[in-house]
């Protein structure tokens, strides 16, 4: 049944996406993922205005980059986004590959294992980097209790199939809003592991630094960690050079402290990761305003 709150523009955009995705799903997985990367880099990004936004953000954050380096990222960033969407809509194949071959590593891994043993809540601080869902697939594949908070898409027609797609990778999923918040807090209090994003501009957030530029950052991951004595670790699914496989990196735990200091530590950790893999962060966001 059509959602009457979807605008004509939303329905047209959703129809175009579904048509492209249905064609992509006819391809074998190893061809499907790079094909969607190409579509986003060469067709979607120019129309959506992504190329200009990527250039603007890179000019702010990385003025040291040369023109050719920026132009390479203008194409590589949407390519990663397209690959990630193809993976999300290929849930069975994607999760099987991740669970069979993606290593989980990093200085925070022993702390995660200790939290599991102690039934201690965990906040998994994650960003729009690599493929966020690779982390969920890898941890849930180990039987670890990972859930996630998500923001429903503004395009409600798109949201109707996007939510089932991300839910097929791992559950539980909690929508932003009163009901979702209540369920999320019950899950956390019971020793659940909650994935929370922190890398988008939040007008109600604290003014912190990212790439040595002022930007507003949400404090919620730190506040929840303090309130529930939860382990707080940065985590990322890092796409490997073959463009298809991943490794899941668990960063060093963030010590419980004043929330601004904790979130600045996460911003600093993410910046180091992005500098090592510039093409894998979603430079399309309006992170600085």
Q: Give me the DSSP letters along 197-218.
A: E--S--TTSEEEEETTEEEEE-
| Packing angle of the helix pair 67-88, 8-24 (nearest 10 deg) | 80
Residue 65 domain-assigned (yes or no):
yes
Whether residue 286 is contained in a domain is answered as no
Confidence of residue 159 (pLDDT cuts 50, 70, 90): confident
Residues 41-76: tens digit of each pLDDT: 999 999 999 999 999 999 999 999 999 999 999 999
User: Could you tell me what percent of the chain has a pLDDT over 70?
Assistant: 98
Q: Are 196 and 248 in contact (CB under 8 A)?
A: no
Q: How far apart are CA 72 and CA 93, in angstroms?
A: 29
Kindly give the pairing relationship between strand 104-105 and strand 246-250. parallel
Section 218-225 average pLDDT: 97
Q: What is the pLDDT of residue 2?
A: 42
Residue 174 has pLDDT above 50, yes or no: yes
Report whether pLDDT(153) > 70: yes
Let me know if residue 169 belongs to a domain: yes
Residue 173, classed as helix, strand or coil, is strand
Position with higher pLDDT, 279 vs 14:
279
Give the integer Cα–Cα distance in Å for 19 and 142.
Answer: 34
Cβ-contact 246, 240 below 8 angstroms: yes
In the three-class reduction of DSSP (H, G, I as helix; E, B as strand; rest coil), residue 149 is classed as: strand
Q: Report yes or no on 100 lying in a domain.
A: yes
- Average pLDDT of the chain is 95
Q: 265: closest CA among 253, 278, 280?
A: 253
How many helices (H) does the chain have, and how many strands (E)?
A: 12, 9
Higher per-residue confidence, 289 vs 189: 189
pLDDT(6) > 80: no
> H/E element holding 133?
helix 132-141
Domain assignment of residue 192, yes or no: yes
Distance from the Cα of residue 112 to its chain's centroid: 19
pLDDT score at 3: 45
Give a yes or no: residue 190 inside a domain.
Answer: yes
Domain count, the chain: 1
Q: What is the pLDDT of residue 157?
A: 87
Residue 2: inside a domain, yes or no?
no
Question: Among 254, 231, 248, which Cα is nearest to 130's?
Answer: 248
Query: 84 with 137: CB under 8 angstroms?
Result: no
Domain with 218 in it: 8-280
- Report yes or no on 288 lying in a domain: no
Candidates 283, 287, 261, 286; CA nearest to 129 is: 283
Distance CA 248, CA 134 (A): 7
pLDDT tens digit sequence for 178-202: 888 999 999 999 999 999 999 999 9
CB contact at 8 A, 123 and 225:
yes
Please report which confidence band the pLDDT of residue 129 belongs to, taking 50, 70 and 90 as the band edges.
Answer: very high
């Amino acid at each position: 049944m059509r959602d009457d709150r979807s605008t004509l523009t939303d329905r047209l955009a959703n129809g175009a996406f579904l048509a492209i995705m249905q064609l992509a799903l006819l391809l074998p997985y190893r061809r499907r993922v790079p094909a969607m990367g190409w579509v986003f880099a060469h067709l979607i990004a120019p129309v959506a205005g992504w190329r200009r936004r990527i250039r603007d953000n890179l000019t702010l954050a990385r003025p040291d980059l040369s023109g050719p380096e920026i132009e390479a990222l203008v194409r590589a960033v949407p390519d990663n986004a397209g690959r990630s969407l193809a993976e999300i809509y290929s849930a069975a194949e994607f999760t099987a590959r991740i669970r069979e071959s993606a290593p989980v590593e990093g200085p925070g891994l022993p702390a995660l294992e200790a939290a599991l043993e102690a039934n201690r809540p965990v906040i998994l601080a994650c960003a729009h980097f690599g493929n966020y869902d690779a982390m969920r697939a890898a941890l849930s594949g180990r039987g670890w209790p990972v859930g996630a908070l998500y923001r429903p898409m503004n395009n409600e027609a798109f949201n109707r199939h996007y939510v089932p797609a991300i839910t097929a990778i791992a559950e539980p999923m909690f929508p932003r809003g009163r009901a979702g918040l209540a369920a999320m807090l019950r899950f956390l209090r019971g020793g659940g592991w909650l994935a929370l994003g922190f890398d988008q501009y939040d007008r109600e957030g604290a003014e912190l630094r990212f790439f040595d530029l002022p930007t507003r950052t949400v404090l919620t991951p730190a506040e929840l960690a303090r309130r529930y004595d939860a382990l707080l670790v940065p985590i990322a699914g890092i796409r490997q050079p073959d463009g298809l496989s991943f490794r899941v990196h668990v960063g060093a735990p963030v010590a419980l402290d004043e929330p601004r200091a904790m979130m600045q530590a996460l911003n600093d950790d993410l910046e180091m990761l992005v500098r090592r893999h510039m093409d894998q962060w979603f430079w399309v966001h309006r992170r600085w305003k």
